[in-house]
Amino acid sequence: MFHLIIKSMKKRAVLIMGLAIVAVSFQGIALTNRGGQDVKAGVSTEYPEAVKKVIDSKCLGCHSPEGRSEKAKEALNWMTLMGLEKSVKVSKLDKIVEVLDKGEMPPKKMIEMHPEAKISEADSKILKDWAVATADALMK
């Protein structure tokens, strides 16, 4: 019984720490991009404003250096995406479109805990259109 109580306490502590990280990041903590420039609460200006707005509000909680999930950071880090080698960047852009088409982001568990994290169809379209156009431009 004691083991179950400790396990539950650990899960809550991890959840609270994750929420604290998200709260701090959305309050305007400065992140640093690959060029060493401070980027206030979000990604650098390498992204069009509409794309940047979606990334800042829906993606950075997990997909940034300060993200709550190592798996998410390894899959995609918005802070370093634009600095990747061309072929790797195209692959990541294709994966963004695939994941959004399948409705896999944010994960269902995340949406259950944080309904506001759900990406709207309009925001999904903004990201997908940008990813496709960027990948196409890189392939020319």
DSSP codes of every residue in 66-126:
T-S-HHHHHH--TTTGGGS-HHHHHHHHHHHHHHHHHT-SS-HHHHHH-GGGPPPHHHHHH
Which of 14, 56, 13 lies closest to 33, judged by CA?
56
**Which stretch of DSSP H or E encloses residue 32?**
strand 30-32
- Top pLDDT among 67 and 19 is at 67
Q: Is the pLDDT of residue 118 over 90?
A: yes
Rounded to an integer, what distance in angstroms lies between the CA atom of residue 35 and that of residue 44? 9
Distance CA 90, CA 139 (A): 8
- On whether the pTM is more than 0.85, the answer is no
**pLDDT digits 0-9 by tens, 61-115:** 999 999 888 999 999 999 999 999 999 999 999 999 999 999 999 999 999 999 9
Instruction: Name the amino acid, one letter, at 8.
Output: S
68, 21 contact by CB (below 8 A): yes
Q: Where are the domains of the chain?
A: 2-139
Residue 62 contacts residue 43 (beta carbons within 8 Å):
no
Confidence band of 52 (pLDDT split at 50, 70, 90): very high
Q: What value, to the nearest 5°, has the Cα angle with vertex 61 and ends 5 and 37?
A: 135
pLDDT at 11: 57
